[in-house]
Structure 1
């Protein structure tokens, strides 16, 4: 988890390869070669402003091929639709991570069976996508859900939004994401069916108060 809170991570390929031992010179050569492979592809698939990084750890060989950068730069032109651009970037992020895992194995000259663990991580791209997807799903679900389930979902949305905001190290990323998310969040029903039809209006008032509080938080993150 620590890798995700240090900088804005757009993609990371992790691989644990057994029965490989590199001396200092071999390790440096390995990292340089993998970084060269990673950088050219990341700049093509994301943006020219990305910062590539390859780190290795002993045991036997643990590889972290990470791409840092601005989410808004990687998304590029979002005039065709923010979610379309985000979903496309998510596919590219995972594809890049998978490619770096494969290249890392190839450069190690180890057999496929030596790759005992790998993970294609999509960093802030997936966190953003999950937040928007969760909120879009809640738009319809809230009409049928009861107060407890709605409250739990709102709590998850708030937690994910807070976590995501901490991942951004550039103000332009915060501005872009929270501008679009503010619009998405405002699609949530103001008077969900089950709450509005209840004889006791207490739960509806509590929900609306919670909704307003979260709207203000999102606006504050957008305007910070």
Structure 2
């Protein structure tokens, strides 16, 4: 169970498919191992090696949530590496979105689930997406005020 008090969702892939190529328990187990390794390596590259990854599977058609959890402190460390706060937030948002999309794509590919086999796929950005949305809204307000003054 995710610890939402001390950590926040930085990126999440939600996969709900009718898997074509996972007919046995061994194949399902191989998928779980593969997607765990895939998620860890991509998370290390795109976000940070110190974040935690939680993978949940549900029975029936394949349902999986691959959740990358981290602290706001880790997020701010990443943002502070850029000279501009807004640019840092935008770049981390892009990485968070890309990470979730890659995990969705890899799960869909590995399971052989094409369009007719997909029930739902989502690439979520969690707190990073919320912060990005706030920055965009502030920029829109600022642009609107400049138009009124100018």
Q: How does 1:122-201 map to 2 (within 5 A)?
A: 122-141=125-144
Residue 61 of structure 1 corresponds to: 62
Q: Tell me the number of residue pairs that the alignment of Structure 1 and Structure 2 aligns.
A: 144
The answer to which of 118-127 and 78-87 deviates more is 78-87
Q: 5 Å matches for 1:1-224?
A: 7-18=7-18, 26-74=27-75, 75-141=78-144
Higher relative CO (Cα under 8 Å, sequence separation at least 6) belongs to: 2
Structure with the higher fraction of residues in helix conformation: 1
Verify the 8 A CA contact 1:15 1:118 in the aligned structure 2. yes
**Mapped partners of 2:126, 2:52: distance in 1:** 14
SS at match of 2:134: helix
Distance of 1:48 and 1:134 partners within structure 2? 30
Using structure 1 for the length normalisation, give the TM-score.
0.55
CA contact (8 A) 1:105 1:112 kept: no
CA RMSD in angstroms, aligned pairs only: 2.9
Report the CA distance between 1:132 and its aligned residue: 2.0
More strand by share: 2
Residues 48 and 5 of structure 1: is their aligned pair in 2 closer, same or farther, counting only changes over 3 Å? Answer: closer
Higher alpha-carbon Rg: 1
Task: Name structure 2 gaps, 5 residues minimum.
Answer: none
Question: How big is the shift at 1:128?
Answer: 0.6
Once residues 67 and 97 of structure 1 are traced to their aligned partners in structure 2, the CA distance between those partners, rounded to angstroms, is: 9
How far apart are 1:33 and its partner, in Å? 1.5
The residue matched to 1:49 in structure 2 has which SS?
A: coil
Q: Quick check: 1:63–1:104 contact (8 Å CA) kept in 2?
A: no
Spell out, residue by residue over 1:101-160, the C-alpha distance to the aligned partner (whole angstroms, 9 max, x if none).
111112223334312321110111010111122123223435889xxxxxxxxxxxxxxx
Shift of 1:8: 0.4
